[in-house]
Chain A
Protein backbone atom coordinates (compact mmCIF):
# COMPACT_ATOMS: atom_id res chain seq x y z
CA UNK A 1 0.00 0.00 0.00
CA UNK A 2 2.90 2.27 0.62
CA UNK A 3 4.12 3.81 -2.63
CA UNK A 4 6.93 6.19 -3.12
CA UNK A 5 5.72 8.90 -5.33
CA UNK A 6 8.22 11.15 -7.12
CA UNK A 7 5.58 13.83 -7.35
CA UNK A 8 5.11 14.05 -3.66
CA UNK A 9 8.55 14.59 -2.27
CA UNK A 10 7.34 14.52 1.33
CA UNK A 11 6.53 10.84 0.79
CA UNK A 12 3.39 11.03 2.91
CA UNK A 13 1.55 7.80 2.37
CA UNK A 14 -2.15 7.21 2.33
CA UNK A 15 -1.87 5.52 5.68
CA UNK A 16 -0.49 8.58 7.41
CA UNK A 17 -3.38 11.02 7.61
CA UNK A 18 -6.05 8.40 7.92
CA UNK A 19 -4.19 6.46 10.54
CA UNK A 20 -3.95 9.58 12.63
CA UNK A 21 -7.62 10.20 12.19
CA UNK A 22 -8.42 6.63 13.02
CA UNK A 23 -6.54 6.99 16.24
CA UNK A 24 -8.47 10.07 17.03
CA UNK A 25 -11.65 8.22 16.28
CA UNK A 26 -10.77 5.28 18.48
CA UNK A 27 -10.05 7.73 21.21
CA UNK A 28 -13.38 9.28 20.54
CA UNK A 29 -15.31 6.03 20.57
CA UNK A 30 -13.49 4.98 23.76
CA UNK A 31 -14.42 8.15 25.40
CA UNK A 32 -17.92 7.73 23.98
CA UNK A 33 -18.18 4.23 25.45
CA UNK A 34 -16.92 5.54 28.68
CA UNK A 35 -19.52 8.20 28.58
CA UNK A 36 -22.23 5.60 27.95
CA UNK A 37 -21.78 4.32 31.49
CA UNK A 38 -24.47 5.54 33.74
CA UNK A 39 -23.50 8.78 35.23
CA UNK A 40 -25.16 11.59 36.94
CA UNK A 41 -27.04 13.90 34.63
CA UNK A 42 -24.58 16.62 35.31
CA UNK A 43 -21.71 14.33 34.63
CA UNK A 44 -23.55 13.17 31.48
CA UNK A 45 -24.05 16.69 30.31
CA UNK A 46 -20.45 17.46 30.95
CA UNK A 47 -19.42 14.30 29.13
CA UNK A 48 -21.66 15.17 26.18
CA UNK A 49 -20.12 18.59 25.97
CA UNK A 50 -16.63 17.11 25.86
CA UNK A 51 -17.80 14.56 23.31
CA UNK A 52 -19.20 17.24 21.09
CA UNK A 53 -16.05 19.16 21.51
CA UNK A 54 -13.94 16.21 20.51
CA UNK A 55 -16.23 15.28 17.64
CA UNK A 56 -16.02 18.78 16.35
CA UNK A 57 -12.25 18.62 16.50
CA UNK A 58 -12.28 15.34 14.63
CA UNK A 59 -14.60 16.68 11.99
CA UNK A 60 -12.47 19.75 11.50
CA UNK A 61 -9.37 17.67 11.15
CA UNK A 62 -11.05 15.44 8.62
CA UNK A 63 -12.28 18.42 6.69
CA UNK A 64 -8.77 19.83 6.65
CA UNK A 65 -7.40 16.48 5.54
CA UNK A 66 -9.86 16.25 2.67
CA UNK A 67 -9.12 19.79 1.57
CA UNK A 68 -5.41 19.18 1.82
CA UNK A 69 -5.81 16.11 -0.30
CA UNK A 70 -7.78 17.93 -2.96
CA UNK A 71 -5.28 20.76 -3.00
CA UNK A 72 -2.30 18.51 -3.35
CA UNK A 73 -3.97 16.55 -6.14
CA UNK A 74 -4.68 19.76 -7.95
CA UNK A 75 -1.16 20.96 -7.34
CA UNK A 76 0.42 17.82 -8.61
CA UNK A 77 -1.72 17.85 -11.72
CA UNK A 78 -0.78 21.45 -12.19
CA UNK A 79 2.87 20.56 -11.71
CA UNK A 80 2.76 17.75 -14.16
CA UNK A 81 0.61 19.03 -16.96
CA UNK A 82 2.23 22.35 -17.88
CA UNK A 83 5.67 20.84 -18.20
CA UNK A 84 4.19 17.97 -20.11
CA UNK A 85 2.29 20.36 -22.30
CA UNK A 86 5.43 22.38 -22.93
CA UNK A 87 7.49 19.32 -23.72
CA UNK A 88 4.86 17.81 -25.96
CA UNK A 89 4.39 20.92 -27.99
CA UNK A 90 8.14 21.38 -28.32
CA UNK A 91 8.26 17.90 -29.77
CA UNK A 92 5.37 18.68 -32.05
CA UNK A 93 7.09 21.83 -33.23
CA UNK A 94 10.27 19.88 -33.89
CA UNK A 95 8.40 17.18 -35.76
CA UNK A 96 6.63 19.73 -37.91
CA UNK A 97 9.90 21.48 -38.69
CA UNK A 98 11.49 18.17 -39.54
CA UNK A 99 8.67 17.28 -41.93
CA UNK A 100 8.98 20.64 -43.64
CA UNK A 101 12.74 20.38 -44.04
CA UNK A 102 12.44 16.85 -45.40
CA UNK A 103 9.87 18.01 -47.94
CA UNK A 104 11.97 20.95 -49.09
CA UNK A 105 15.00 18.66 -49.47
CA UNK A 106 12.90 16.43 -51.70
CA UNK A 107 11.92 19.45 -53.76
CA UNK A 108 15.53 20.25 -54.63
CA UNK A 109 15.61 17.48 -57.20
CA UNK A 110 13.36 19.72 -59.32
CA UNK A 111 16.20 22.21 -59.61
CA UNK A 112 18.24 19.55 -61.32
CA UNK A 113 20.80 19.41 -58.52
CA UNK A 114 20.24 17.82 -55.17
CA UNK A 115 22.29 15.85 -52.72
CA UNK A 116 22.94 14.41 -49.33
CA UNK A 117 25.67 15.04 -46.85
CA UNK A 118 27.75 11.96 -46.24
CA UNK A 119 30.31 11.10 -43.60
CA UNK A 120 33.07 11.87 -46.08
CA UNK A 121 31.57 14.85 -47.82
CA UNK A 122 28.62 15.07 -50.10
CA UNK A 123 26.85 12.94 -52.68
CA UNK A 124 25.38 15.13 -55.38
CA UNK A 125 22.55 13.92 -57.60
CA UNK A 126 22.20 15.42 -61.06
CA UNK A 127 18.78 15.02 -62.67
CA UNK A 128 18.34 15.31 -66.39
CA UNK A 129 15.38 16.13 -68.55
CA UNK A 130 14.59 17.01 -72.13
CA UNK A 131 11.76 19.42 -72.89
CA UNK A 132 9.68 18.42 -69.92
CA UNK A 133 10.37 14.70 -70.01
CA UNK A 134 12.26 13.64 -66.93
CA UNK A 135 15.16 11.36 -67.74
CA UNK A 136 17.99 9.57 -65.95
CA UNK A 137 19.76 10.78 -62.82
CA UNK A 138 23.45 10.53 -62.14
CA UNK A 139 25.37 10.88 -58.94
CA UNK A 140 28.81 12.11 -57.97
CA UNK A 141 30.17 11.25 -54.56
CA UNK A 142 32.63 13.90 -53.43
CA UNK A 143 35.11 13.54 -50.60
CA UNK A 144 35.85 16.77 -48.80
CA UNK A 145 39.57 16.89 -48.43
CA UNK A 146 42.43 18.81 -49.98
CA UNK A 147 42.44 18.17 -52.86
CA UNK A 148 38.73 17.53 -53.40
CA UNK A 149 38.21 14.08 -54.81
CA UNK A 150 35.53 12.16 -56.58
CA UNK A 151 35.03 9.03 -54.57
CA UNK A 152 32.77 7.38 -57.07
CA UNK A 153 30.14 8.32 -59.60
CA UNK A 154 27.64 7.00 -62.11
CA UNK A 155 28.64 9.26 -64.97
CA UNK A 156 29.00 7.35 -68.25
CA UNK A 157 32.56 6.82 -69.34
CA UNK A 158 32.26 8.82 -72.54
CA UNK A 159 31.35 12.04 -70.72
CA UNK A 160 34.56 14.05 -70.21
CA UNK A 161 34.31 14.01 -66.42
CA UNK A 162 38.06 14.17 -65.78
CA UNK A 163 38.40 17.15 -68.10
CA UNK A 164 35.65 19.07 -66.38
CA UNK A 165 37.02 18.12 -62.96
CA UNK A 166 40.51 19.23 -63.92
CA UNK A 167 39.17 22.61 -64.97
CA UNK A 168 36.85 23.42 -62.10
CA UNK A 169 36.68 20.91 -59.29
CA UNK A 170 39.39 22.38 -57.10
CA UNK A 171 38.54 26.02 -57.60
CA UNK A 172 34.77 26.10 -57.85
CA UNK A 173 32.56 23.13 -57.00
CA UNK A 174 29.49 24.92 -58.22
CA UNK A 175 30.98 25.56 -61.62
CA UNK A 176 32.12 21.96 -61.83
CA UNK A 177 28.66 20.64 -61.05
CA UNK A 178 26.84 23.04 -63.34
CA UNK A 179 29.18 22.20 -66.18
CA UNK A 180 28.69 18.49 -65.59
CA UNK A 181 24.95 19.16 -65.50
CA UNK A 182 25.16 20.71 -68.94
CA UNK A 183 27.00 17.76 -70.43
CA UNK A 184 24.75 15.18 -68.81
CA UNK A 185 21.52 16.96 -69.73
CA UNK A 186 22.68 17.34 -73.33
CA UNK A 187 23.68 13.68 -73.52
CA UNK A 188 20.36 12.61 -72.00
CA UNK A 189 18.49 14.77 -74.48
CA UNK A 190 20.35 13.43 -77.50
CA UNK A 191 19.88 9.88 -76.32
CA UNK A 192 16.17 10.52 -75.77
CA UNK A 193 15.76 11.87 -79.30
CA UNK A 194 17.55 8.87 -80.82
CA UNK A 195 15.52 6.44 -78.71
CA UNK A 196 12.26 8.08 -79.72
CA UNK A 197 13.26 7.95 -83.38
CA UNK A 198 13.97 4.24 -83.11
CA UNK A 199 10.84 3.36 -81.18
CA UNK A 200 8.21 5.68 -82.63
CA UNK A 201 9.25 6.18 -86.25
CA UNK A 202 10.74 2.84 -87.22
CA UNK A 203 8.26 2.72 -90.09
CA UNK A 204 9.96 5.66 -91.77
CA UNK A 205 13.48 4.26 -91.36
CA UNK A 206 14.71 2.03 -94.08
CA UNK A 207 17.65 0.73 -92.11
CA UNK A 208 18.92 0.56 -88.55
CA UNK A 209 19.80 3.76 -86.76
CA UNK A 210 23.55 3.96 -86.30
CA UNK A 211 24.68 5.76 -83.21
CA UNK A 212 27.67 6.02 -80.92
CA UNK A 213 27.40 5.74 -77.13
CA UNK A 214 27.72 9.48 -76.67
CA UNK A 215 24.83 9.88 -79.16
CA UNK A 216 26.60 12.72 -80.89
CA UNK A 217 26.99 10.99 -84.21
CA UNK A 218 23.87 9.57 -85.81
CA UNK A 219 23.45 8.04 -89.19
CA UNK A 220 20.25 6.69 -90.72
CA UNK A 221 18.33 6.30 -93.93
CA UNK A 222 14.71 7.21 -94.22
CA UNK A 223 11.88 7.56 -96.65
CA UNK A 224 9.00 10.00 -96.47
CA UNK A 225 6.70 7.59 -98.23
CA UNK A 226 7.60 4.13 -96.96
CA UNK A 227 5.68 2.26 -99.62
CA UNK A 228 6.69 4.58 -102.41
CA UNK A 229 9.07 4.31 -105.29
CA UNK A 230 11.51 7.03 -104.36
CA UNK A 231 14.99 6.35 -103.10
CA UNK A 232 15.62 6.98 -99.45
CA UNK A 233 17.48 9.93 -98.02
CA UNK A 234 20.58 9.31 -96.00
CA UNK A 235 21.15 11.60 -93.04
CA UNK A 236 24.26 12.14 -90.99
CA UNK A 237 24.01 14.22 -87.84
CA UNK A 238 27.07 15.37 -85.95
CA UNK A 239 26.77 17.12 -82.61
CA UNK A 240 30.16 18.76 -82.14
CA UNK A 241 28.97 20.77 -79.15
CA UNK A 242 28.56 18.22 -76.39
CA UNK A 243 26.50 20.64 -74.35
CA UNK A 244 23.88 20.98 -77.08
CA UNK A 245 20.94 18.82 -78.04
CA UNK A 246 20.83 20.00 -81.65
CA UNK A 247 23.40 18.96 -84.24
CA UNK A 248 26.08 21.30 -85.50
CA UNK A 249 26.63 19.55 -88.85
CA UNK A 250 23.92 17.89 -90.87
CA UNK A 251 24.23 16.31 -94.25
CA UNK A 252 21.31 14.75 -96.08
CA UNK A 253 22.21 12.90 -99.21
CA UNK A 254 20.25 11.12 -101.85
CA UNK A 255 21.07 7.54 -102.55
CA UNK A 256 19.94 7.28 -106.08
CA UNK A 257 21.76 7.12 -109.35
CA UNK A 258 19.81 9.78 -111.18
CA UNK A 259 20.03 13.41 -110.14
CA UNK A 260 17.19 14.71 -108.00
CA UNK A 261 14.32 16.64 -109.43
CA UNK A 262 14.00 20.23 -108.24
CA UNK A 263 11.21 19.51 -105.81
CA UNK A 264 13.12 16.65 -104.27
CA UNK A 265 16.24 18.78 -104.10
CA UNK A 266 14.22 21.42 -102.26
CA UNK A 267 12.98 18.80 -99.89
CA UNK A 268 16.47 17.51 -99.27
CA UNK A 269 17.72 20.99 -98.44
CA UNK A 270 14.75 21.72 -96.20
CA UNK A 271 15.36 18.50 -94.32
CA UNK A 272 18.91 19.56 -93.61
CA UNK A 273 17.61 22.77 -92.09
CA UNK A 274 14.93 20.94 -90.14
CA UNK A 275 17.38 18.57 -88.53
CA UNK A 276 19.53 21.50 -87.49
CA UNK A 277 16.73 23.43 -85.85
CA UNK A 278 14.29 20.93 -84.39
CA UNK A 279 14.69 17.88 -82.17
CA UNK A 280 15.03 14.69 -84.19
CA UNK A 281 11.82 12.96 -83.13
CA UNK A 282 9.81 16.13 -83.71
CA UNK A 283 11.13 16.37 -87.24
CA UNK A 284 9.99 12.84 -87.89
CA UNK A 285 6.66 13.54 -86.27
CA UNK A 286 6.15 16.33 -88.79
CA UNK A 287 7.16 13.91 -91.58
CA UNK A 288 4.56 11.47 -90.34
CA UNK A 289 1.92 14.21 -90.26
CA UNK A 290 2.82 15.32 -93.78
CA UNK A 291 2.53 11.73 -94.86
CA UNK A 292 -0.98 11.64 -93.46
CA UNK A 293 -1.82 14.84 -95.26
CA UNK A 294 -0.54 13.34 -98.47
CA UNK A 295 -2.75 10.33 -97.97
CA UNK A 296 -5.72 12.52 -97.31
CA UNK A 297 -5.11 14.43 -100.52
CA UNK A 298 -4.97 11.17 -102.43
CA UNK A 299 -8.29 10.15 -101.00
CA UNK A 300 -10.04 13.41 -101.78
Chain B
Protein backbone atom coordinates (compact mmCIF):
# COMPACT_ATOMS: atom_id res chain seq x y z
CA UNK B 1 0.00 0.00 0.00
CA UNK B 2 2.83 2.40 0.81
CA UNK B 3 4.54 1.79 -2.48
CA UNK B 4 1.30 2.37 -4.23
CA UNK B 5 0.74 5.58 -2.35
CA UNK B 6 4.25 6.63 -3.22
CA UNK B 7 3.55 5.87 -6.83
CA UNK B 8 0.38 7.91 -6.70
CA UNK B 9 2.30 10.85 -5.30
CA UNK B 10 5.03 10.46 -7.90
CA UNK B 11 2.49 10.29 -10.69
CA UNK B 12 0.70 13.36 -9.41
CA UNK B 13 3.96 15.26 -9.24
CA UNK B 14 4.86 14.24 -12.75
CA UNK B 15 1.43 15.21 -14.01
CA UNK B 16 1.78 18.60 -12.39
CA UNK B 17 5.14 19.11 -14.02
CA UNK B 18 3.89 17.98 -17.40
CA UNK B 19 0.92 20.26 -17.12
CA UNK B 20 3.23 23.15 -16.40
CA UNK B 21 5.30 22.20 -19.41
CA UNK B 22 2.17 22.19 -21.51
CA UNK B 23 1.21 25.63 -20.34
CA UNK B 24 4.69 27.11 -20.56
CA UNK B 25 5.31 25.84 -24.00
CA UNK B 26 3.49 28.20 -26.27
CA UNK B 27 1.64 27.01 -29.28
CA UNK B 28 3.74 26.97 -32.38
CA UNK B 29 2.18 30.11 -33.66
CA UNK B 30 3.05 31.89 -30.50
CA UNK B 31 6.75 31.02 -30.41
CA UNK B 32 8.52 34.30 -30.00
CA UNK B 33 12.02 33.35 -30.97
CA UNK B 34 12.75 31.67 -34.26
CA UNK B 35 9.37 30.92 -35.66
CA UNK B 36 7.71 34.14 -34.58
CA UNK B 37 10.50 36.19 -35.97
CA UNK B 38 10.39 34.18 -39.13
CA UNK B 39 6.70 34.70 -39.34
CA UNK B 40 7.03 38.40 -38.81
CA UNK B 41 9.69 38.40 -41.44
CA UNK B 42 7.38 36.58 -43.80
CA UNK B 43 4.67 39.11 -43.16
CA UNK B 44 7.04 41.92 -43.92
CA UNK B 45 8.32 39.99 -46.88
CA UNK B 46 4.85 39.42 -48.23
CA UNK B 47 3.99 43.04 -48.16
CA UNK B 48 7.27 44.50 -49.36
CA UNK B 49 9.29 41.45 -50.20
CA UNK B 50 7.33 39.80 -52.95
CA UNK B 51 6.67 43.12 -54.49
CA UNK B 52 10.29 44.16 -54.28
CA UNK B 53 11.46 40.79 -55.51
CA UNK B 54 9.30 41.20 -58.58
CA UNK B 55 10.50 44.78 -58.83
CA UNK B 56 14.07 43.58 -58.52
CA UNK B 57 13.58 41.02 -61.23
CA UNK B 58 12.03 43.46 -63.64
CA UNK B 59 14.60 46.12 -62.78
CA UNK B 60 17.36 43.62 -63.35
CA UNK B 61 15.83 42.58 -66.65
CA UNK B 62 15.59 46.18 -67.81
CA UNK B 63 19.16 46.98 -66.85
CA UNK B 64 20.46 43.80 -68.40
CA UNK B 65 18.90 44.71 -71.72
CA UNK B 66 20.46 48.16 -71.43
CA UNK B 67 23.78 46.45 -70.84
CA UNK B 68 23.37 44.19 -73.82
CA UNK B 69 22.52 47.19 -76.00
CA UNK B 70 25.63 49.09 -74.90
CA UNK B 71 27.76 46.03 -75.40
CA UNK B 72 26.54 45.65 -78.96
CA UNK B 73 26.86 49.35 -79.66
CA UNK B 74 30.40 49.82 -78.41
CA UNK B 75 31.57 46.34 -79.32
CA UNK B 76 33.00 46.19 -75.82
CA UNK B 77 31.74 43.77 -73.21
CA UNK B 78 32.54 45.01 -69.71
CA UNK B 79 32.08 42.31 -67.13
CA UNK B 80 33.45 43.77 -63.93
CA UNK B 81 33.93 47.21 -62.52
CA UNK B 82 34.95 48.54 -59.16
CA UNK B 83 35.88 51.94 -57.87
CA UNK B 84 37.58 53.40 -54.83
CA UNK B 85 37.63 57.03 -53.87
CA UNK B 86 40.20 58.81 -51.79
CA UNK B 87 39.81 62.37 -50.62
CA UNK B 88 43.13 64.12 -50.95
CA UNK B 89 41.92 67.52 -49.85
CA UNK B 90 44.44 68.93 -47.42
CA UNK B 91 43.56 71.54 -44.80
CA UNK B 92 45.16 74.36 -46.78
CA UNK B 93 43.15 73.36 -49.78
CA UNK B 94 39.87 73.46 -47.88
CA UNK B 95 40.67 77.00 -46.84
CA UNK B 96 41.06 78.01 -50.44
CA UNK B 97 37.93 76.00 -51.24
CA UNK B 98 39.81 73.57 -53.37
CA UNK B 99 38.83 69.94 -53.28
CA UNK B 100 41.00 67.11 -54.54
CA UNK B 101 39.67 63.60 -54.98
CA UNK B 102 41.49 60.59 -56.36
CA UNK B 103 39.40 57.83 -57.90
CA UNK B 104 40.83 54.40 -58.52
CA UNK B 105 38.97 52.41 -61.13
CA UNK B 106 39.32 48.83 -62.17
CA UNK B 107 37.44 47.26 -64.99
CA UNK B 108 37.72 44.11 -67.02
CA UNK B 109 35.94 42.54 -69.91
CA UNK B 110 36.43 41.45 -73.46
CA UNK B 111 36.07 42.54 -77.04
CA UNK B 112 35.45 39.30 -78.92
CA UNK B 113 38.58 37.20 -78.48
CA UNK B 114 40.60 39.94 -76.80
CA UNK B 115 40.26 40.24 -73.03
CA UNK B 116 41.40 43.34 -71.22
CA UNK B 117 41.92 44.52 -67.70
CA UNK B 118 42.25 48.20 -67.00
CA UNK B 119 43.35 49.98 -63.88
CA UNK B 120 43.31 53.72 -63.98
CA UNK B 121 43.22 56.71 -61.71
CA UNK B 122 41.26 59.88 -62.17
CA UNK B 123 42.20 62.99 -60.26
CA UNK B 124 39.39 65.47 -59.74
CA UNK B 125 40.26 68.98 -58.68
CA UNK B 126 37.45 71.33 -57.84
CA UNK B 127 38.25 74.97 -57.34
CA UNK B 128 36.07 78.06 -57.40
CA UNK B 129 36.01 78.37 -61.17
CA UNK B 130 35.81 74.86 -62.45
CA UNK B 131 36.01 71.14 -61.93
CA UNK B 132 38.82 69.42 -63.76
CA UNK B 133 39.04 65.67 -64.20
CA UNK B 134 42.09 64.02 -65.57
CA UNK B 135 43.30 60.48 -65.98
CA UNK B 136 46.56 60.36 -64.07
CA UNK B 137 47.52 56.77 -64.55
CA UNK B 138 46.47 54.07 -66.96
CA UNK B 139 47.47 50.44 -66.97
CA UNK B 140 46.21 48.05 -69.58
CA UNK B 141 46.65 44.30 -69.63
CA UNK B 142 45.51 42.52 -72.75
CA UNK B 143 45.20 38.92 -73.78
CA UNK B 144 46.15 37.41 -76.14
CA UNK B 145 49.53 39.00 -76.05
CA UNK B 146 50.61 37.61 -79.41
CA UNK B 147 48.70 40.35 -81.18
CA UNK B 148 51.86 42.32 -81.77
CA UNK B 149 49.98 44.84 -83.80
CA UNK B 150 48.12 45.72 -80.66
CA UNK B 151 50.94 45.98 -78.15
CA UNK B 152 52.35 49.15 -79.68
CA UNK B 153 48.92 50.69 -79.68
CA UNK B 154 48.39 49.72 -76.05
CA UNK B 155 51.60 51.40 -74.89
CA UNK B 156 50.65 54.51 -76.81
CA UNK B 157 47.23 54.59 -75.14
CA UNK B 158 48.82 54.10 -71.73
CA UNK B 159 51.27 56.92 -72.37
CA UNK B 160 48.60 59.30 -73.57
CA UNK B 161 46.20 58.14 -70.86
CA UNK B 162 43.58 58.09 -73.58
CA UNK B 163 40.82 55.77 -72.40
CA UNK B 164 38.32 56.58 -75.08
CA UNK B 165 40.76 56.16 -77.90
CA UNK B 166 41.77 52.81 -76.44
CA UNK B 167 38.24 51.44 -76.48
CA UNK B 168 37.26 52.94 -79.81
CA UNK B 169 40.37 51.72 -81.58
CA UNK B 170 40.18 48.33 -79.89
CA UNK B 171 36.68 47.87 -81.22
CA UNK B 172 37.64 48.74 -84.79
CA UNK B 173 40.84 46.74 -84.63
CA UNK B 174 38.97 43.64 -83.53
CA UNK B 175 36.40 44.18 -86.28
CA UNK B 176 39.14 44.29 -88.89
CA UNK B 177 40.88 41.34 -87.27
CA UNK B 178 37.77 39.21 -87.45
CA UNK B 179 37.13 40.32 -91.04
CA UNK B 180 40.67 39.40 -92.06
CA UNK B 181 40.29 36.02 -90.39
CA UNK B 182 36.96 35.35 -92.11
CA UNK B 183 38.34 36.39 -95.48
CA UNK B 184 41.43 34.21 -95.20
CA UNK B 185 39.34 31.28 -94.02
CA UNK B 186 36.99 31.76 -96.92
CA UNK B 187 39.79 31.62 -99.45
CA UNK B 188 41.44 28.67 -97.76
CA UNK B 189 38.18 26.81 -98.03
CA UNK B 190 37.59 27.77 -101.63
CA UNK B 191 41.14 27.10 -102.88
CA UNK B 192 42.59 24.64 -100.40
CA UNK B 193 45.62 23.71 -102.47
CA UNK B 194 46.59 27.15 -103.57
CA UNK B 195 46.13 29.09 -100.37
CA UNK B 196 48.38 28.60 -97.37
CA UNK B 197 48.04 30.27 -94.02
CA UNK B 198 51.31 29.84 -92.19
CA UNK B 199 50.04 30.67 -88.73
CA UNK B 200 46.44 29.70 -89.21
CA UNK B 201 43.59 32.04 -90.10
CA UNK B 202 44.70 34.63 -87.53
CA UNK B 203 48.01 35.13 -89.24
CA UNK B 204 48.60 38.41 -90.99
CA UNK B 205 49.70 36.85 -94.25
CA UNK B 206 48.29 34.58 -96.89
CA UNK B 207 50.51 32.67 -99.29
CA UNK B 208 49.34 31.69 -102.74
CA UNK B 209 51.15 28.86 -104.45
CA UNK B 210 50.35 26.91 -107.50
CA UNK B 211 51.31 23.25 -107.69
CA UNK B 212 51.62 23.51 -111.43
CA UNK B 213 54.01 26.42 -111.20
CA UNK B 214 56.42 25.67 -108.41
CA UNK B 215 58.79 28.39 -107.44
CA UNK B 216 56.19 31.07 -107.84
CA UNK B 217 54.70 32.44 -104.72
CA UNK B 218 52.51 35.39 -103.99
CA UNK B 219 52.42 36.56 -100.41
CA UNK B 220 49.74 38.93 -99.35
CA UNK B 221 50.56 40.69 -96.13
CA UNK B 222 47.54 42.26 -94.51
CA UNK B 223 48.41 44.41 -91.57
CA UNK B 224 45.96 46.23 -89.39
CA UNK B 225 47.45 49.52 -88.37
CA UNK B 226 46.46 52.00 -85.75
CA UNK B 227 47.80 55.48 -86.34
CA UNK B 228 48.70 58.22 -83.91
CA UNK B 229 45.13 59.43 -83.65
CA UNK B 230 43.79 55.96 -83.02
CA UNK B 231 42.38 55.50 -86.49
CA UNK B 232 42.37 51.88 -87.59
CA UNK B 233 42.98 50.96 -91.19
CA UNK B 234 44.14 47.94 -93.14
CA UNK B 235 47.40 47.95 -95.03
CA UNK B 236 47.80 45.29 -97.66
CA UNK B 237 51.01 44.53 -99.48
CA UNK B 238 51.92 42.04 -102.14
CA UNK B 239 55.26 40.25 -102.05
CA UNK B 240 56.34 38.12 -104.93
CA UNK B 241 58.69 35.21 -105.07
CA UNK B 242 59.65 34.13 -108.51
CA UNK B 243 62.41 31.99 -109.96
CA UNK B 244 65.37 33.88 -111.36
CA UNK B 245 64.63 32.79 -114.92
CA UNK B 246 61.14 34.13 -114.78
CA UNK B 247 62.49 37.49 -113.76
CA UNK B 248 64.80 37.46 -116.72
CA UNK B 249 61.93 36.68 -119.04
CA UNK B 250 59.78 39.39 -117.59
CA UNK B 251 60.27 42.09 -120.19
CA UNK B 252 57.26 44.10 -119.15
CA UNK B 253 58.54 44.18 -115.57
CA UNK B 254 55.17 42.95 -114.49
CA UNK B 255 56.67 41.30 -111.43
CA UNK B 256 58.53 44.40 -110.38
CA UNK B 257 55.46 46.53 -110.60
CA UNK B 258 53.21 43.90 -109.07
CA UNK B 259 53.12 45.39 -105.59
CA UNK B 260 52.09 48.74 -106.95
CA UNK B 261 49.56 47.23 -109.31
CA UNK B 262 48.15 45.33 -106.41
CA UNK B 263 47.52 48.55 -104.56
CA UNK B 264 45.65 49.91 -107.53
CA UNK B 265 43.71 46.68 -107.83
CA UNK B 266 42.71 46.97 -104.21
CA UNK B 267 41.41 50.43 -104.80
CA UNK B 268 39.37 49.31 -107.76
CA UNK B 269 38.03 45.94 -106.68
CA UNK B 270 38.22 46.06 -102.92
CA UNK B 271 40.00 43.53 -100.76
CA UNK B 272 38.10 40.33 -101.41
CA UNK B 273 37.82 40.69 -105.17
CA UNK B 274 41.46 41.72 -105.46
CA UNK B 275 42.63 38.67 -103.50
CA UNK B 276 40.40 36.40 -105.49
CA UNK B 277 41.71 37.71 -108.78
CA UNK B 278 45.28 37.14 -107.61
CA UNK B 279 44.57 33.55 -106.65
CA UNK B 280 42.83 32.94 -109.94
CA UNK B 281 45.63 34.45 -111.96
CA UNK B 282 48.25 32.20 -110.41
CA UNK B 283 46.12 29.12 -110.53
CA UNK B 284 44.56 29.81 -113.88
CA UNK B 285 45.59 26.45 -115.28
CA UNK B 286 44.09 24.57 -112.36
CA UNK B 287 40.79 26.32 -112.66
CA UNK B 288 40.79 26.26 -116.43
Contacts and interface: CB of A to CB of B under 8 A. Distances in A.
Interface in A5-20: 5, 7-8, 13-14, 17-18
Interface stretch (B5-13, B146-154, B193-201, B242-250): B5-13
Interface in B50-82: 52-53, 56-57, 59-60, 62-67, 69-70, 73-76, 78-82
Contacts, number: 204
B45 interface: yes
Given A58-B15, A66-B22, A132 B29 contact: no
B161 interface: yes
A264 interface: no
Contacts of A131: 160-162
Interface in A168-210: 173-174, 177-178, 181, 185
B191 interface: no
A174 B122 contact: no
B18 A97 contact: no
Interface in B136-177: 136, 138, 160-164, 167-168
Contacts of A283: none
Contacts of B31: 73, 76-77
A77 to B, nearest CB: 5
Given A80-B35, A101-B67, A18 B21 contact: no
B176 to A, nearest CB: 14
Interface stretch (A114-122, A153-161, A252-260): A114-122
Interface residues of A, number: 76
Interface stretch (B36-44, B202-210, B258-266, B273-281): B36-44
B14 interface: yes
Interface string A65-84: 11001101101110011001
B110 to A, nearest CB: 13
Contacts of B86: none
A55 B70 contact: no
Q: Classify the secondary structure of B's interface with A.
A: helix
Interface stretch (A103-111, A218-226, A227-235): A103-111
A5 B12 CA distance: 33
Contact of A76 (B4, B19, B35, B66): B35
A49 B4 contact: yes
Nearest to A95: B56
Contacts of B14: 59
B74 to A, nearest CB: 5
User: Which of B38, B105, B164 is the most central at the interface, judged by chain A CB atoms within 10 Å of its CB?
Assistant: B164
A245 B229 CA distance: 9
A98 B41 contact: no
Contacts of B53: 87, 90-91, 94
Contacts of A62: 15, 18-19, 22
User: Which of A13, A69, A72, A128 is the most central at the interface, judged by chain B CB atoms within 10 Å of its CB?
Assistant: A69
A63 interface: yes
B34 interface: yes
B1 interface: yes
A131 B14 CA distance: 88
B163 A129 contact: yes
Contacts of B35: 7, 73, 76-77, 80
A48 interface: yes
Nearest to A57: B11
A12 B82 CA distance: 55
Nearest to B129: A199
A288 interface: no
B66 A178 contact: no
A181 B39 CA distance: 56
Contacts of A132: 134-136, 138, 160-163
A113 B70 contact: yes
B252 interface: no
B133 interface: yes
B30 interface: yes
Contacts of B164: 110-112, 127-129, 181, 185
B107 interface: yes
B78 A108 contact: yes
Interface string A42-68: 001100110110011011001101100
A110 B59 CA distance: 23
Contacts of A124: 73
Contacts of A102: 63
Given A84-B38, A134-B122, A117 B29 contact: no
B7 A52 contact: yes
13 contacts: A7-B28, A7-B29, A48-B4, A52-B11, A66-B18, A69-B22, A91-B53, A101-B63, A105-B67, A110-B163, A112-B167, A127-B164, A134-B135
Question: When A and B form their complex, which 5 residue pairs have the shortest distance between CB atoms, in order from nearest?
Answer: A132-B161, A5-B29, A112-B164, A107-B81, A62-B18
Interface of B: 1, 4-5, 7-8, 11-12, 14-15, 18-19, 21-23, 25-31, 34-35, 38-39, 41-42, 45, 49, 52-53, 56-57, 59-60, 62-67, 69-70, 73-76, 78-83, 105, 107, 118, 122, 132-136, 138, 160-164, 167-168, 229
